[in-house]
Amino acid sequence: MMTSTISPSESAQDVGAGFRPKEKELVNYFLKQKLLGHDHQVRRIPELDVYKLEPWDLPQYSGANSSDEEWYFFHRCRTGRPSRTTKVGYWKNTGRKSKIRDEQEEIGTKRIFVFYIGRTPRGERTGWIIHEYTAAFNLPNQRAFVLCKLFKKRMPVTGEVEPSRKMAACNLENQNSYQKTNNSAFDEGETSQLMTFENQATEFAIQEEAHSQPIPHLGSFYGCNEQNHRLNSALNSPMRDFTCDDLRDFSFDA
């Protein structure tokens, strides 16, 4: 019985739904063909300046695989330090480089980049991720490309929430003026209450230092449960300015 097999060159024509090559195939065939200049073999994977565009705009350039949940691009490497900053955000490297192996041979490396909206260090993390594959082999007349796999990870329910695309530019503008306008994390009522607590703590510390005998633990107070209950209520009341003078109404063991 004969079985048909699909060569990598044939599978390159069918980049789209169900296109799930292994990492070693991405490096050892697709990226390798691009580095050698065999563009016709991998023409379904577009060449794009990936890190200059917003991640949600990239799928429309992916051609045949635009309806899938993963999108592949070739990114040309240029001399100098690469810039991964877009108009509304930036790509941040996370984790360490991982080695891609075929059998025992190292054929490439993978780096992971996560997209943040805003400007460092106050960017908001999104679910957009790029796996960037770099070849480790040297070829004659080798060109400078990396292969990028883009996908969007669902954000955890209790984690960060990705801002909408329409609000991204507004969030960036607001973030630029953050240091000038956002000097307090509390509203007026919360600030007043916080100041009351701080004043109570300061007054309590001053009077405690003035008295040679420290205030005993609640468990050492003498008297019935009713007296202890009143003392606990006085100490724990958030709306009352409690001082050491209030302890004079209570008797306790020496």
CATH classification at residue 45:
2.170.150.80
Is 194 found in the same domain as 166?
A: no
Mean pLDDT of 117-144: 95
Residue 88 lies in a domain: yes
Top mean-pLDDT range of 16-30, 125-139, 178-192: 125-139
The pLDDT of residue 154 is above 70: yes
In a 10 Å sphere around its CB, with 0-12 CB exposed, 13-18 middle and 19+ buried, how is residue 87 labelled? exposed
- Domain-located, residue 2: no
Q: Tokens representing 224? A: 């019935």
Cα–Cα distance between 37 and 162 in angstroms, integer?
A: 39
pLDDT greater than 60 at residue 227: no
pLDDT at 138 over 70: yes
Q: Answer yes or no: do 24 and 41 share one domain.
A: yes
Residues 160 and 201 in one domain: no
Pick the range with the lowest mean pLDDT from 10-24, 76-90, 139-153, 223-237. 223-237
Express as a percent the part of the chain with pLDDT over 90: 43
Residue 82 pLDDT: 86
Q: What are phi and psi of 177, to 5 degrees?
A: -100, 10
Q: How many domains does the chain have?
A: 2
Mark whether 22 and 65 lie in a shared domain.
yes
Range of the domain at 41: 8-179
Which residues are CB-contacts of 246 (< 8 A; sequence separation ≥ 6)?
A: 234
Whether 142 has a pLDDT exceeding 80, the answer reads: yes
**pTM of the entire structure?**
0.60
Instruction: Note the pLDDT of residue 98.
Output: 97
pLDDT band at 50 (very low <50, low <70, confident <90, very high): very high
Alpha helices by DSSP H, listed for the chain, are 8-11, 23-25, 32-35, 165-176, 178-181, 188-210, 225-236
**What was the pLDDT predicted at 202?**
47
C-alpha span between 68 and 59 (Å, rounded): 9
Other C-beta atoms closer than 10 Å to the C-beta of 52 total 12
Contacts (Cβ under 8 Å, ≥6 apart) of 99: 106, 108, 109, 110
Confidence of residue 92 (pLDDT cuts 50, 70, 90): very high
Positions of E strands within 64-200? 70-76, 89-102, 105-117, 124-135, 145-152
Q: How far apart are CA 233 and CA 217, in angstroms?
A: 15
Assess whether 150 and 126 both reside in one domain. yes
Q: Would you give the DSSP letter of residue 84?
A: -
Cross-strand partners of 93: 113
Answer yes or no: are the C-beta atoms of 167 and 174 closer than 8 Å: no
pLDDT band for position 17 (cuts 50, 70, 90) = low
Q: What is the model's pLDDT at position 217?
A: 46
Judgement on whether residues 208 and 243 belong to the same structural domain of the protein: yes
> What is the pLDDT at residue 20?
80
- pLDDT at res. 212: 46
Q: Is the pLDDT confidence value at 203 over 90?
A: no
- Cβ atoms of 75 and 61 within 8 Å: the answer is no
Of the chain, the percentage scoring pLDDT greater than 70 comes to 52
More confident residue, 150 or 254: 150
**CA geometry: angle 62, 66, 69, nearest 5 deg:** 115
Rounded Cα distance, 162 and 144, in Å: 33
Q: Which of 108, 156, 153, 154 is nearest to 132 (CA)?
A: 108
Query: Which of 211 and 22 is assigned the larger pLDDT?
Result: 22
